[in-house]
Amino acid sequence: MGYADQRFDVNLSILFTELPLLERPAAAAAAGFTAVELWWPWIETPTPPQAELDALKKALDDAGTQLVGLNFYAGQLPGPDRGALSVPGTESDRFRANIEVAADFAASVGCTALNALYGNRVEGTDPAAQDALALENLVLAARAADRVGAILLVETLNKPESPLYPLVGAPAAIEVVDKVNAATGLGNAKFLLDLYHLSMNGEDLSHVIKAYAAKTGHVQIADNPGRGAPGTGSLPLEQLLDELKDAGYAGWVGLEYKPGDRPSAESFDWLPASARAAR
């Protein structure tokens, strides 16, 4: 057990950001990793030119890196937004325009997990109306994901850093997962369990793991406080990942941490080089 027994991937939207997007897959590969994930890379548009999608696919292929997770369009992320699918008007429309684009790109690179960030509450808008819109859009996204053999992920964030995001406890995200699966009958909506966000919410991480491992489709980690690499904070991440494995989770663990003031390539000293390649 321990870190060497996990399947890690590198989030190229928070690590290696000192490099242009198309150079990051090769940098991850040079650090020993063969699996990566991404937030939606084109924050200004849900429908980038096909040439840009093709260039990203080529960069992934040339580096020998497998994309194992991709966000749908989520607005200005990084930035003030936390998703688009529950935000009425233009942002919801942009999310819908992105659904098939993201699904088709995922299919082209063999990515089987698509993350749909819920979006912030909008002042003056009925939360129930936002939730109804969210369910409509998540059903569309789940069907598109299913079409390409992928799962749909629903993520909990944390209240201190995302005060307007309504899914800030594991049960809130699980409720949405269950509603989407009930609406589609597909069963491909899953929980994205991020140990950093859950710890920032003050949740009992061992309890969350036991309660929801069976509904978990992807895991992300960073240490707390600071959202740095494992070992920079006080979270018992190695133990928690062992607990996940014991509870039956055998999927990917995304490294979604900030490298601090050093180059990203130097932030992996906690993980033996022999444990970095996908298995």
Instruction: Give 88-125 pLDDT, tens digit per residue.
Output: 999 999 999 999 999 999 999 999 999 999 999 999 99
- What pLDDT score does 24 carry? 98
Position 222 pLDDT exceeds 80 = yes
- What pLDDT score does 122 carry? 98
Would you call 91 a catalytic residue per the annotation? no
- What pLDDT score does 38 carry? 98
From the list 37, 203, 243, 256, the catalytic residue is: 256
Looking at the chain, the whole-number percentage of residues with pLDDT higher than 90 is 99
Looking at the chain, the whole-number percentage of residues with pLDDT higher than 70 is 100
Give the model confidence (pLDDT) of 147-165 as tens digits: 999 999 999 999 999 999 9
Give the model confidence (pLDDT) of 58-69 as tens digits: 999 999 999 999
- What pLDDT score does 2 carry? 86
From the list 37, 91, 155, 243, the catalytic residue is: 155
Mean pLDDT of 41-55: 98
Position 1 pLDDT exceeds 80 = no
pLDDT band at 35 (very low <50, low <70, confident <90, very high): very high
Position 245 pLDDT exceeds 80 = yes
State the pTM of this model. 0.98
Would you call 256 a catalytic residue per the annotation? yes
Three-class secondary structure assignment of the chain: CCHHHCEEEEECCCCCCCCCHHHHHHHHHHCCCCEEEECCCCCCCCCCCHHHHHHHHHHHHHHCCEEEEEECCCCCCCCCCCECCCCCCHHHHHHHHHHHHHHHHHHHHCCCEEECCECCCCCCCCHHHHHHHHHHHHHHHHHHHHHCCCEEEEECCCCCCCCCCCCCCHHHHHHHHHHHHHHHCCCCEEEEEEHHHHHHCCCCHHHHHHHHHHHEEEEEECCCCCCCCCCCCCCCHHHHHHHHHHCCCCCEEEECCCCCCCCHHHCCCCCCHHHCCCC
